[in-house]
A and B are shown apart, each in its own frame.
Chain A
């Protein structure tokens, strides 16, 4: 029973990592940039929802606040691309990496100014109550997290595989120049992807904040999500989710069965091992550059 309990709570955490990782992968797939601020997007999404729905702020009903927050984050993602990232078009990946890290610092600072640095909890209907399955007690929030994550991953996957826009987004990332000549509005597509990543981050944020308290530094969780994305292979959405689940499940088990100092290390040790032995993720095939 204890094992099952650990597994479920690990899965729920893993889903949050997976959702953030999903944001990484979305942006990577479409723009070949990596958004190191994705974790801070998540934090911001949570705070925006909290600001809209909590009694001491605007006190809107949760089911109005949540979609509103998701839309706000989508617009924010689009605007960030429009005002900042678009101007990096053609610069090296490293420039984008550093820029998004800086962006994360700025977002953390701004969130701290607006909502303060004390941990706060989201007044969310998801946070109420437990459900029992046999001997396993599950928080409602955990169940919601798992269900929403799987639904979201599935729809995004379908979107990329089946819709014209999704395919255009993939094409734009393979070869910007060629996509441009083939009439794909590369820049607009990139903006949309950033919007989508913002929305995903907001969903992750809402779910995360339903599970526990949130503060401006919660975005640092992004680093673990990052490990998840890498473990899953950066190019694939289901891979990102799988990576998230792996990291999420490893954590409670390491904490339970390993000595104190070693348990925090586990996800990163796994990350390094994956990078060394399967540098492009557990689920990928590798080709060499053609000359």
Chain B
């Protein structure tokens, strides 16, 4: 077991608590950069998919895990990011400006949409966001002149100062682009967590009255959380557009919204790790299932609803037996090894609690 001897406050403020952790994450990033040299192009594409989902997961995690607001409509913001990016590039903006701007615009739109939604708590917010997700589909069709409606759009080839990136013909370059965006988003997330705003998010999540008494402006903080969450989600959406190669009103459906929320719950709410773990599950579940299916009943047989059904079952099992998600389980395993052989079973027992009503009437 590692013991932290703290000598300065700086240790709690730094990006990594100690040298060992810094080395582990450094190695991880090195591995990520070396990956295209280690595995073949097909799998590079798959890992890219994982990373894009992880970015989207980080976006939603900021809202749900950090600020405690469940959104079932984040696919709408994936769509806004994706369409904005494409349209801006079509208008002649270079990728290097259009892409960041697309996220910022999505964030601003999100914050504006959030303002009326701020008065809503728990399920009411969830419902409002469902409606948003359904409306997004219809609105994209209605805005046909810009969005291409049902026939959809194809994103143009990315060009950064003449350096071209394309998902199908140059998967490795696209992978590096996504990796860089992932690292930036993760850094933003981590920076927020160690600064006053991140703590205000947690305060709003856990007790609005006392957050107010401490000087936190609830509405502004929630809108900021919504905006930041949508910004990151917008970037993920733009990348998804490139990854898919084509998109229309049905690409970012409510099922994507729900998958995203389930993904971060399976991964572990409230942690950066959770977004990544969840993304791995979402990205590899279809492959895993189809391999299983081919093995059991032979290929070619389509079972509609299999993926969502199995995904649903996994989620139910997690909520019942490991509400902290994969990250929670991972922590327990790690602690168990660190304490070996002194870990006791009841160390991880959950506290029983009763429901205190949140309802007003």
Binding site for B on A (CB under 8 A): 32, 34, 84, 87-95, 97-99, 101-106, 108-110, 112-113, 117, 173-177, 180, 216, 223, 226-227, 230, 233-235, 261-262, 264-265, 268-269, 271-272, 275-276, 279-280, 284-289, 291
Contact = CB atoms under 8 A, between A and B. Distances in A.
A105 B311 contact: yes
B22 interface: no
Given A93-B358, A286-B361, A226 B127 contact: yes
Contacts of A272: 128, 131-132, 135
Interface string B117-154: 10110111011101110110011011000000000000
A90 to B, nearest CB: 4
B122 A94 contact: yes
Contact of B357 (A99, A175, A216, A291): A175
B361 A284 contact: yes
Size bracket of the B interface: 35 or more
A94 B70 contact: yes
A106 B317 CA distance: 12
Contacts of A175: 356-357
Contacts of B303: 112-113
Given A102-B313, A262-B142, A279-B119, A90 B352 contact: yes
B130 A174 contact: no
A97 B138 CA distance: 25
Which residue, A106, A175, A177, A234, has most C-beta atoms of chain B within 10 A?
A106
B209 interface: yes
B180 interface: no
Nearest to B314: A102
Contacts of A291: 209
Contact of A32 (B126, B128, B309, B355): B355
16 contacts: A32-B357, A92-B122, A95-B265, A101-B261, A102-B316, A105-B312, A106-B313, A109-B308, A227-B127, A275-B127, A275-B128, A280-B124, A280-B360, A286-B361, A287-B360, A289-B358
Contact of A261 (B138, B262, B308, B320): B138
B319 A99 contact: yes
B304 A112 contact: yes
A280 B304 contact: no
A90 B122 CA distance: 15
Contact of B138 (A92, A112, A265, A288): A265
A257 to B, nearest CB: 17
Contacts of A95: 265, 319, 323
Contacts of A106: 309, 312-313, 316
B134 A103 contact: no
Contacts of B311: 102, 105
Contacts of A108: 305, 308-309
A102 B312 contact: yes
A230 B125 CA distance: 11
B195 interface: no
A97 to B, nearest CB: 6
Contacts of B316: 84, 99, 102-103, 106
Nearest to B207: A291
Given A90-B354, A275-B124, 5 more contacts: A89-B352, A102-B312, A112-B303, A112-B304, A268-B135
B359 A176 contact: no
Interface string B168-209: 000000000000000000000000000000000000000001
Nearest to B351: A90
A112 B305 contact: yes
B312 A280 contact: no
Nearest to B311: A105
Contact of A105 (B116, B131, B308): B308
Contacts of A269: 135
A115 to B, nearest CB: 12
A139 to B, nearest CB: 28
B112 interface: no
Given A89-B355, A103-B312, A264-B138, A223 B130 contact: yes
B265 A98 contact: yes
A87 B304 CA distance: 30
B319 A88 contact: yes
Given A173-B357, A216-B305, A230 B127 contact: yes
A113 B117 CA distance: 39
